[in-house]
Structure 1
Amino acid sequence: MKRMSIPLFQIGVLFITLCILLLCVFWLPDTAAFFAEDAPEYAYLRYPLLFGIYLTVLPFLFAIVEGLKLSRRVAINDAFSLKSVNHLKNIKRSAFLITVMYFIGFLVLMQLVDLSPGIGLLGILIMLASMMIGLIAGILEELLRKALEIKEENDLTV
């Protein structure tokens, strides 16, 4: 069972990433076109919003790659290393970058248009989720750093 947990995790992460990319490529442009036709007074926001959402996909993909690298390190029993700490640090930075990008977009949208409660709630939900991922990655990074210090002290003692 233990042998299968990491490959299952990796397959699950790749499946979720593929679903998000497919949504970005196929569903999002069609939805933006529909809303541009449905509310022509906001049609000028179609491409800036799409650009902003696509821009936030880049740190997401970077964090996914770092998570897969980290899971590979766990699979080869090299989880307690500085490279693992760096992977967690990169995941943390990506998550906080996504939070900042959505916060800036949220502020810009509030200045340009009357933000509907549904879109505002969705933006806040994405910000909170990425902030939580960043905080958890930061805590794990610090725990791993402390474990490495303890391991180094034990190696020097023995």
Structure 2
Amino acid sequence: MKRMTISLFQIGVLFITLCIVLLAAFWLPQTAAYFSKDAPEYAYLQYPLLGAIYVTLIPFLLAILEGLRLSRRVALNDAFSDASVLHLKRIKMCAFLISLLYLVGGLLLNALVDMAPGIALLGIIIMLASLMIGLISGILEELLRKALEIKEENDLTV
């Protein structure tokens, strides 16, 4: 039952990741081209914004990869290991990097143009969501590190 649940989790994560990558590859450039024609005064931002979104896609994909590796460790009953702590640390760093990139991008965009509230809200939501994922990953990383210390102490006393 546990193995099936983890497999369903992995399939779900891969499906969502595939959807996001396909949206970034096909829908996003078309939408950016449409909006650059619709608002020609902002057309010069089309490619820098697309590039910035693609840059933030890299740490997202790395975090997804680390999450899949961590779930594989859980499936193999090897969740309490130093490698799991490393996976959580990498997820935390990727999430914080995404938050930082969106913060810097939002500040730059706000300085360059009068940003619409909807676009600003979307950036803030993405930034806060990745910040929360980073904080939760950090807490889980510390908990797992403490659990490993207790496990090592117990192994040495027996």
TM-score by length of 2: 0.99
Q: Which consecutive residues of structure 2, in runs of 5 or more, have no partner in the other structure? A: none
Q: Which residue of 1 aligns with 2:6?
A: 6
Distance in 1 separating the partners of 2:136 and 2:97: 15
| Residue 130 of structure 2 corresponds to residue 105 of structure 1 | no
Q: Residue type of the partner of 2:115?
A: L
Runs (4 or more) in structure 1 with deviation over 6 Å come to none
Q: Which residue of 2 aligns with 1:19?
A: 19
The Cα shift of 1:2 comes to: 2.0
| Residue 71 of structure 2 corresponds to residue 68 of structure 1 | no
Distance in 1 separating the partners of 2:130 and 2:79: 23
Q: How many aligned residue pairs are there?
A: 158
The Cα shift of 1:3 comes to: 2.5
> Could you give the per-residue CA deviations for residues 93-121 of structure 1, whole angstroms, max 9, x where no partner exists?
00000000000000000000001000000
Distance in 1 separating the partners of 2:126 and 2:67: 19
| Residue 136 of structure 2 corresponds to residue 142 of structure 1 | no
Distance in 1 separating the partners of 2:60 and 2:90: 11
Distance in 1 separating the partners of 2:74 and 2:2: 12
Contact 2:2 2:75 in 1 (8 A): no
Q: Which residue of 2 aligns with 1:51?
A: 51
Q: Which residue of 1 aligns with 2:30?
A: 30
Distance in 2 separating the partners of 1:74 and 1:27: 35
Identity fraction in percent: 75
Distance in 2 separating the partners of 1:92 and 1:128: 13
Q: Which residue of 2 aligns with 1:123?
A: 123
Distance in 1 separating the partners of 2:78 and 2:2: 16
Distance in 1 separating the partners of 2:134 and 2:79: 19
> Could you give the per-residue CA deviations for residues 1-33 of structure 1, whole angstroms, max 9, x where no partner exists?
323110000000000000000000110000000
RMSD value, Cα: 0.4
TM-score by length of 1: 0.99
Q: Which residue of 2 aligns with 1:88?
A: 88
Contact 2:59 2:97 in 1 (8 A): yes
